[in-house]
Structure 1
Amino acid sequence: MKNTILIVDDDELTLHFIETVLSNKNYVFFKALDSNAALDILKDNHENIKVIIADHIMPGILGGELLQIVKTQYPQIVRMVCTAYDSVANILDLLNKGEIFRYITKPIKDIELISFTLQALEYYDSTQEKYKLLNEISTIDKILEKTNIVLNASKQHKGFDYFEFSGIFDSCDMPIIICQKETQRVFCNRALLQIMNLNINWFDLEKFPNVSIRNKLISMIQSNSIFQNDFILLDSQYYNLNLNVADFNDDKFYFIGINKMEF
């Protein structure tokens, strides 16, 4: 995703100045002369915009009010305001109402604008990564809960229901690999089969076709540990690995969630 910034100011010279100062950073810009124009841009482009920089004193909807609207409707966008306020109370009120990331004092200083914009973009990326991770964890937690039910039911009937077990993970959009320590068998859900161009779900660990994944699973089993920030290369594409160990009564399972890396 490109580093796209929306600049809002009723002064065309200020719009041009901000764009010029940041122009050597390979940013993409949207520009608006008032808050209504900015809201129109956001309506069609909010998924692509990472940061908004708005002047506070403008005709019609003030910049601070605009950023409050952005906070409510597009909370993922990082908000910065330009202001000539010299009152600490006024600045704090502005920051709190719009949960504004940074305020830039006028007249705008080049180095401050460059530094704050870079910080805002980094904050956007890190926040989105956290949201993504939390969603992954939530998904895996729900799957583990269902898996626990299946395993407990299987123990009561003294037989492991592979069909029901497979169905739980096949319904998940996240590519997932599971290895059961006791049997050393590896299961791949449907999402992963598509990535790896495989046509069967189950493998013996020693025969698993991807050497990189096989070695990581073996290492996990031997060390009984969790790996973080790992990655593999599949079909000329890098993937993040979210690796976890889960215990169900006397059984131990090793989970790998796989996500395509974006550069």
Structure 2
Amino acid sequence: MTDRGRGLRGESHDVQRENQGMTRPMKRTPVSIRGAHFEADDSAGPHADTEGLEPYKVLIVDDETHILKAVQRLFLGQGYEVLSAPSGADAVELFREHQIAVIISDQRMPGLSGAALLNYVRKKSPHTVRIMLTGNNDVATAIEAINQGEVFRFITKPWDHDEFLKIVGLAIEHHELLISRVRYQEHIREQNERLSVLNTELSELNEELEARVEARTQEVVARQREIERLYCELQGSFDATIKALVSIMELGEVHVIEHCQRTAERVRMFGERLGLDTDEIQEVERATLLHWIGLINAPPRVFELPVEELDEEAKASWEFHTVLGQQAIQHVPALRQAGRMILHYLNRYDAPEFQPGRIDPSSGDVYQESFVRGCRILGICSAFERVRTGLRGNNRLEVAGAVERGLQLLQKGAGTRYDPELVRQFREMVAQEMATARTREIVVSFENLRPGMVLARPLETAQGIPVAPRDMIITDELIARLGRFQDSNGLNEIRVWG
């Protein structure tokens, strides 16, 4: 068990409740499902159930008594009603007697396995969020749990207390989201019933109004079909987006996450320097945040060596990651353009088939100038940041050396692999950044932050959430963004190069 996990026991319950309150909204509106009326307000606290003022019920299932007791101790003062069961059969009995918001089950148990139990829960109560508790990293176990129980998260033994509580908080939010979707479906059903009544009333009007009745009926039917079409599209995007984001969060590799975040910030700065409009910058930035999703399971040497020095296995992972990344998000309508950009961002500048006006063989669409430019910007920024991603250390001299090697890499490929004009603009931008850098760290308050300063260390909120990477140039926009964190949760010590 980590020091961080052990330290949780010493915190006051007030602090724990405050931390938990940050993960989900405090207020909810009334919900009506299957004739029952649920209503909760602020006085119910962050963990009140939607049925009356009762707390959410969390069921923990494990054949090891000390695990059950450990989890019950962990949830003391958190506002949940915790139920426990030593076996899958006992859990089924409790499930029949209670309305469970979240179930946390061990996988390996005598009799009914965790995957089978979660599959039973999924069928009987799809609104109950399912979490797998396991003491191993068996791939077959994970596949079985995903296929049968459609688990929301995995928690491995031993666990980190803070992470455990955070995951359960997210599961409660997901439970509320599922209930809210039912409420929305109920609302649509009521609207459809009202439309049906309206059609009946219109048909009973006298003969003088027959023409107007027919026109009105056609209008109502058309609107109803449009509502149904938009709802189906929204529901499809909603479900697909949740699955994509859960996959990224569950499987994320630290190299992948840090590289994508740093490159996205670089893309935004470069796009602003080039004078691109906000929509175009956001489109490229969205693709950048996901462009290494296909490398999640890649071997570590993919990130630590130049592409030309990779062995056959690592080179295959690198060359195929664009296809995997595009496939991972292609079913999310809002991310289809980002997926196309991920698929093409490694295309060479001198490739005759990848030019504005040519046909994209993968989709049949014409390559627009903005799309090609976005791919080239992403390719340049990612290649530059990849040199730093491979560093084993993070001292100032190593970072400076990585910057120089990154610029040399881009210059070497200018005119062949990279757009020479974009490389020139990028080099000028980085040169201005380096000109503002110093070798001495100084601590500044948020009120004394000024545009042009450069962060000497990664900046985090008071809760340890990263908000800006090392060597980020402070801009007016970044100060405004940091101000929102400062007002809500506070920021840790700010160090800049002085």
Which bracket does the TM-score occupy, shorter chain normalised? Answer: 0.5 to 0.7
Match of 1:51? 102
1:45-88 C-alpha deviation (Å, 9 max, x unpaired): 1xx21000011111111111111111112222111110123233
Unaligned runs of 5+ in 2: 1-48, 50-54, 211-498
Match of 1:75? 126
In the alignment, structure 1 residue 4 sits paired with structure 2 residue 81? no
1:100-130 C-alpha deviation (Å, 9 max, x unpaired): 1111111122122111100110000111011
- Does the 8 Å CA contact 2:115/2:144 hold for their aligned counterparts? no
Letter in 2 for 1:35: G
In the aligned structure 2, how far is the partner of 1:20 from the partner of 1:155? 71
Letter in 2 for 1:147: L
Structure 1 pair 157–22 and aligned structure 2 pair: CA distance change class (3 A): farther
In the alignment, structure 1 residue 146 sits paired with structure 2 residue 146? no
- Does the 8 Å CA contact 2:75/2:82 hold for their aligned counterparts? no
Letter in 2 for 1:49: I
Match of 1:27? 80
* SS of residue matched to 2:109: coil
Larger gyration radius, structure 1 or structure 2: 2
User: Which of 125, 132, 137 is the equivalent residue of 2:183?
Assistant: 132
Of the structure 1 ranges 84-93 and 59-68, higher mean CA displacement relative to structure 2 is found in 84-93
In the aligned structure 2, how far is the partner of 1:71 from the partner of 1:86? 23
Alpha-carbon distance, 1:157 to partner: 5.5
1:137-187 C-alpha deviation (Å, 9 max, x unpaired): 11221221221231243253659xxxxxxxxxxxxxxxxxxxxxxxxxxxx
**Where do 1:105-120 residues align within 5 Å?**
105-120=156-171
Structure number with higher relative contact order (C-alpha < 8 Å, ≥ 6 residues apart): 1
* SS of residue matched to 1:5: strand
Regions of 4+ moved over 2 Å: 87-90, 155-159
User: Which of 139, 145, 152 is the equivalent residue of 1:101?
Assistant: 152
* SS of residue matched to 1:97: helix
In the aligned structure 2, how far is the partner of 1:90 from the partner of 1:36? 20
In proportion to residue count, which structure has more helix? 2
Match of 2:112? 61
Alpha-carbon distance, 1:96 to partner: 2.3
- Does the 8 Å CA contact 1:53/1:82 hold for their aligned counterparts? yes
Alpha-carbon distance, 1:23 to partner: 1.7
- Does the 8 Å CA contact 2:107/2:133 hold for their aligned counterparts? yes
In the aligned structure 1, how far is the partner of 2:131 from the partner of 2:94? 17
* SS of residue matched to 2:137: coil
Match of 1:195? none
Taking structure 2 as the reference length, the TM-score comes to: 0.30
In the alignment, structure 1 residue 85 sits paired with structure 2 residue 85? no
In the aligned structure 1, how far is the partner of 2:85 from the partner of 2:170? 22
* SS of residue matched to 2:204: helix
Structure 1 pair 36–21 and aligned structure 2 pair: CA distance change class (3 A): same
Taking structure 1 as the reference length, the TM-score comes to: 0.56
* SS of residue matched to 1:25: coil
In proportion to residue count, which structure has more strand? 1
Letter in 2 for 1:11: E
* SS of residue matched to 1:23: coil
What root-mean-square deviation, in Å, do the aligned CA atoms of Structure 1 and Structure 2 show? Answer: 2.0
Structure 1 pair 114–155 and aligned structure 2 pair: CA distance change class (3 A): farther
- Does the 8 Å CA contact 2:62/2:85 hold for their aligned counterparts? yes
- Does the 8 Å CA contact 1:85/1:91 hold for their aligned counterparts? no
- Does the 8 Å CA contact 2:135/2:156 hold for their aligned counterparts? yes
* SS of residue matched to 1:154: coil
Letter in 1 for 2:72: E
Structure 1 pair 155–83 and aligned structure 2 pair: CA distance change class (3 A): farther
Number of residues of Structure 1 aligned to a counterpart in Structure 2: 158
Unaligned runs of 5+ in 1: 160-263
- Does the 8 Å CA contact 2:61/2:87 hold for their aligned counterparts? yes
In the alignment, structure 1 residue 14 sits paired with structure 2 residue 75? no
1:22-63 C-alpha deviation (Å, 9 max, x unpaired): 222110011111111111111111xx2100001111111111
Query: Percent of pairs identical after alignment?
Result: 27
Structure 1 pair 14–54 and aligned structure 2 pair: CA distance change class (3 A): same
